[in-house]
Amino acid sequence: MAVIWRGNTQDRLYQDTISSGGGNSHKHKDKYKDKEHKHKDHKKDREREKSKYGNSDHKEFSEKKHREKERIKHEDVSTDRHKDKHKEKDHRKDESGLFIRCLFLFFRTEFKPKKIKIENDRVDKKAKKRKQDEVQRRLMRSLFLVKDIKPKKTQKNKKGEVADGKKKAKKEPEEKWKWWEEERATDGSKWRFLEHKGPVMAAPYEPLPSKVRFFYDGKQMKLGPEAEEVATFFAKMLDHEYTTKDAFRKNFFKDWRKEMTSEEKSKITDLKKCNFNEMGEYFKAQSEARKAMTKDDKLKIKVENERLLQEYGFCIMDNHKERIANFRIEPPGLFRGRGDHPKMGMLKRRIRPEDIIINCSKDSKHPKPPPGTKWKELRHDNKVTWLVSWTENIQGSIKYIMLNPSSRIKGEKDWQKYETARNLKKCVDRLRNQYREDWKSKEMRIRQRAVALYFIDKLALRAGNEKEEGESADTVGCCSLRVEHINLYPEKDGQEFVVEFDFLGKDSIRYYNKVPVEKRVFKNLQLFMENKQPEDDLFDRLNTSILNKHLQELMDGLTAKVFRTYNASITLQQQLKELTSPDENLPAKILSYNRANRAVAILCNHQRAPPKTFEKSMQNLQTKIDAKKDQLSDAKRDVKSAKADLKVRRDEKSKKAVETKKKAVERLEEQLMKLEVQATDREENKQIALGTSKLNYLDPRISVAWCKKWGIPIEKIYNKTQREKFAWAIDMAEDDYEF
């Protein structure tokens, strides 16, 4: 079974390693029989309905278009893009923190980071960098002129950047809009005015040069453009292990054949006989060539990208120019699901303008479809935040183009999320008492609800919606846990009532954990598992909808995922309090921050694949360690012989010699320990991803407050993008902010 089966962090941090694995092959077939059909028919009906009524009943907005436009402040999000590059130099090297909890204490006292490198050095580099930048900018400008790009905003911005980005670094553009100081709409509308240029369509297919051949069964064969395009998708993935998987090959071949002419179809009947190697080589060569391009050519591409960004990357929403997140339509390709996805390898088809729904203000300048095409629909729905949508062909789900996280519309929502989590903080004790009471309930469903909630709270599990079997990888969350995903141990490793979790969660990331639970929980679990098969639901009287309905009654806005946010943020706050010591220097403090962050990442089970070069860099480190060990044993031998000398001579000189040698040993021991610690550290960080929690779970105001309290520059914690996303928090949080 080909599942992403990474060893789990918790596993290695807190417990003995286990070597379980194994697939889950269970079937709930009856339950889902015929679902697919119904599903699809239904969808079609709805679609028909929609196009019938789509445009009819939208309110007119009173604002006059031009007046709106006049008031637009041209805050240009991208202007200072490159500006503080110099400042960006962070101290990643010092970030390497140890995680293991038992080492926390030790390190707090023992770790003395090196002084950071001298400022002088940096100033020099900065100056150098600036010079380089200036050259680049000049080039950029000349390129603009050469290419005779209409000198619209883009140009101005570019020039503006050049002008004030440099010497007068002080002169910030116009001050940023502080949406968080404004009133929020209460009527459920998301905006009043929305204007944008529509999406950037995927580049059309460029047929291969005729020298690049495809062979079937050893014989060269020219493919028609449709079949050829799909073949190139496969050829591009040739050295990815996807292409060796049965499901991938099967799905690919089936969909590929659909694109073939009847002639091709009758010839090509076996994927094994297809030879895509020349195609694969061709693409490899192409990407090599791209890497080897001259600086000028690279710059041209950069400029073109920038132009596209300026033209399509922004919209106007309620008087403000806002950055769009994904303004490009997803190009066609082969579907890459995660984990053991039944649909891997299927053809993700090209999106045409006729598939695309545009959403914007009635009174805005509507985006134009490419010449000779039209949009599927033009809609004016201000109850939603998306600008563009289309239906994807693999799962039949809808994809959207929406705004950047720095936008008002995303920021408000994010802020609100943390406020809800803070509300939970106020009543979490009450809730915890409540679910503990419910463990004793006469009703099974209440007990199940209470135990599930306990897991969600204690272990930060996801809610766990039901999924349609066969539509996606077999993964679970709390409510969808099955009996096979847990093991109960009345006693294990000296602890009582241990529950062992082992399942694949979101993105097929394995969750493995052994936790001691309260006796009552344990007994309940035994009860829930009575007379069940491994593939039966653990909580058979519960689903996310029931759970969330219950939570909603306990607190306004409360849902299962709020617990994850709450527990993540509160953990960060606590850990920061615990780990930061006032007299430490800056790198040490940042180290503490990262450790706190890491604690959260572990709680939320945020993992990453070990870096590709991980083994190698580990080996290098190990070599160093071995060398150090050799040195150490040499030094120890020296001590011995010096001692022997001393015995014979008994003079001051040899006594001193012994002392020096002993010192050397001590020094080496210390160095060795540091290296070993570094190795452990790297090993621990190997598969922990800090980014996800930082971006989605940690109230940024906690970090901002911490920075202010200890005089840490915010750039050490948040990079440019993150600072843009969390601008609201950076602006509003003071050093005494309490989550």
Site residues (CB under 7 A) for DNA, limited to 355-384: 381, 383-384
The residues in 106-125 that bind DNA, with binding defined as CB under 7 A, are: 125
Candidates 56, 38, 136, 124; CA nearest to 86 is 124
CB 75 → DNA: shortest distance, Å? 18
Residues 188-207: x/- map of binding to DNA (CB under 7 A)? --x-----------------
Any contact of residue 469 with DNA (CB under 7 A)? no
Between 349 and 643, whose beta carbon lies closer to DNA? 349
The residues in 70-89 that bind DNA, with binding defined as CB under 7 A, are: 85-86, 88-89
| Residue 207 near residue 107, CB atoms below 8 Å | no
CB 396 → DNA: shortest distance, Å? 7
CB 391 → DNA: shortest distance, Å? 7
* Half-sphere CA count of 238, side-chain side, radius 13 A: 17
Q: SS3 of 514, please?
A: strand
The residues in 608-667 that bind DNA, with binding defined as CB under 7 A, are: 608-609, 611, 613, 616-617
Select from 153-161, 211-219, 263-271, 719-727 the region that touches DNA (CB under 7 A). Answer: 719-727
CB 550 → DNA: shortest distance, Å? 10
Determine the residue type at 483. V
User: Where is 525: in which H helix or E strand?
Assistant: helix 519-529
Any contact of residue 333 with DNA (CB under 7 A)? yes
Any contact of residue 165 with DNA (CB under 7 A)? no
Any contact of residue 273 with DNA (CB under 7 A)? no
Instruction: Select from 398, 527, 627, 644 the one that contacts DNA (CB under 7 A).
Output: 398
CB 39 → DNA: shortest distance, Å? 4
For 583, which DSSP code? T
Between 469 and 676, whose beta carbon lies closer to DNA? 469
| Residue 686 near residue 621, CB atoms below 8 Å | no
Any contact of residue 507 with DNA (CB under 7 A)? yes
CB 612 → DNA: shortest distance, Å? 8
Q: Give me the active site residues, please.
A: 697
Rg for the chain, CA atoms, rounded: 30
Contacting residues for 542 by C-beta, under 8 A, at least 6 apart: 445, 448, 449, 452, 479
In what order do the strands lie in the sheet containing 274-275? 219-221, 214-216, 274-275
The residues in 407-426 that bind DNA, with binding defined as CB under 7 A, are: 410, 413-414, 417
The residues in 11-70 that bind DNA, with binding defined as CB under 7 A, are: 35, 38-40, 42-43, 46-47, 50
Between 50 and 640, whose beta carbon lies closer to DNA? 50
Q: How far apart are CA 728 and CA 739, in angstroms?
A: 15
Locate 298 and state its tokens.
């690279």
What burial class does residue 583 get, using C-beta atoms within 10 Å of its C-beta: 0-12 exposed, 13-18 middle, 19+ buried? exposed
The residues in 471-500 that bind DNA, with binding defined as CB under 7 A, are: 472-473, 475, 477
Q: How far apart are CA 456 and CA 560, in angstroms?
A: 7
Select from 105-113, 143-151, 393-401, 523-531 the region that touches DNA (CB under 7 A). Answer: 393-401
φ/ψ of residue 333, rounded to 5 = 170, -170
Between 551 and 658, whose beta carbon lies closer to DNA? 551
Between 405 and 522, whose beta carbon lies closer to DNA? 405
Any contact of residue 295 with DNA (CB under 7 A)? no
Q: How far apart are CA 409 and CA 414, in angstroms?
A: 9
Q: SS3 of 195, please?
A: strand
CB 385 → DNA: shortest distance, Å? 4
Quickly list DSSP for 539-571.
STT--HHHHHHHHHHHSTT--HHHHHHHHHHHH
CB 286 → DNA: shortest distance, Å? 11
Torsion of CA 602, 605, 609, 614, to 10 degrees: 10
Between 364 and 565, whose beta carbon lies closer to DNA? 565
Any contact of residue 467 with DNA (CB under 7 A)? yes
Instruction: Select from 10, 364, 607, 703 the one that contacts DNA (CB under 7 A).
Output: 607
What burial class does residue 352 get, using C-beta atoms within 10 Å of its C-beta: 0-12 exposed, 13-18 middle, 19+ buried? middle
Locate 214 and state its tokens.
């495809």
Q: How far apart are CA 310 and CA 79, in angstroms?
A: 10
Residues 539-578: x/- map of binding to DNA (CB under 7 A)? ----xxxx-x---x----x-xxxx-xx-------------
Q: Could you tell me the end-to-end alpha-carbon distance of the chain, in angstroms, rounded to an integer?
A: 44
